[in-house]
Amino acid sequence: MVGFRNVWIVPLDGPPATPVTLVPNGAVWKYLDNGSNPSIDWKQLGFNDTAWASGPAMLGYGDANGSLPRTTNSYGLDPNNKYITTYYRRLFVVSNTWGFINLTARLQRDDGAVGYLNGIEVFRSNMPIGPISYTTVASTAVGNADETRFYLLPIDPLSLRKGTNLLAVEIHQNAANSSDIAFDLALQGERLQPPRLGIARAPEGVQLSWPGYAEGLNLYSASNLVPAVAWNFVATLPVLSNDLRTVTLPVVPNAARFYRLQSP
């Protein structure tokens, strides 16, 4: 807090958030390591990967700066003409997409990687620009400490969907005689704490309010809480003032009303 005579500047804390891990390091991934060119659908949620193998990360082959992979991938029969690209898929579930911020992929890659969330490219690391195929080589060779380094790559939280999500990652080598590859990934973020819904009497009705940071939530009302409850959308738009969203509604005579906030 800083004071200048009768003017006071008070620093405001951001809205409270809780760390969330959607995919942990060392997770089990499905993978394709036979040197083939999968169909473009491989990065889509509905793709059938039942024929793919699976294993826990770190995945790869060789000795990535002293660390051996937990799951060994194949590079083919010729050590001087190894497969350039290996493909990985991982499903995860998000029960509620509201309030996610600072979504970040922690990526270990040797040499290059392209990542997709629900079919949309969300990061490209040490890879050339333009179209990518199964023969595209990484931009540079990775060595020494960079083989086990985790790169932090921001992802738009709006790419998440409620229910089942898919992370798809392709790892590319810089050359066909690469000595090792390595892959692991954690998807982490923060979720804003659910806002409290305040209620107070107003001169002409009842006033409901909640924090301004709670974007994307709608107000719903019900006349009773007997299952199954019929929650109805409140069409009155909130007014945002002093970091508070406020809705004023008329009082229903001789009746009870219940209110809650929820995603559309």
Strand partners, 166: 91
List the chain residues with pLDDT less than 50: 1-12
Position 241, amino acid: S
Burial 2-37 (b: 16+ CB within 10 A, else e): eeeeeeeeeeeeebebeebebbebebebbbbbebee
What is the reported pLDDT for 117? 98
Give the CA angle between residues 65, 66, 67 to the nearest 5°: 95
DSSP calls for 66-113: TB--SEEPP--S-TTS--SEEEEEEEEEES--TTEEEEEEEEEEESEE
Contact 47, 71 (CB under 8 A): no
- Per CATH, the architecture of 17-192 is what? Sandwich (2.60)
Question: How far is residue 18's CA from residue 197's CA, in Å, rounded to a whole number?
Answer: 19
Contact 128, 223 (CB under 8 A): no
List, for residues 187-197, the tens digit of each pLDDT value: 999 998 888 89
What is the reported pLDDT for 14? 55
Residue 228: cis peptide before it, omega within 30 degrees of 0: yes
What is the reported pLDDT for 252? 77
Question: How far is residue 122's CA from residue 155's CA, in Å, rounded to a whole number?
Answer: 6
pTM of the predicted model as reported, rounded to 2 decimal places: 0.82
Q: Would you kindly state where each structural domain of the chain is located, as residue ranges?
A: 17-192, 198-262
Contact 27, 57 (CB under 8 A): yes
What is the reported pLDDT for 144? 82
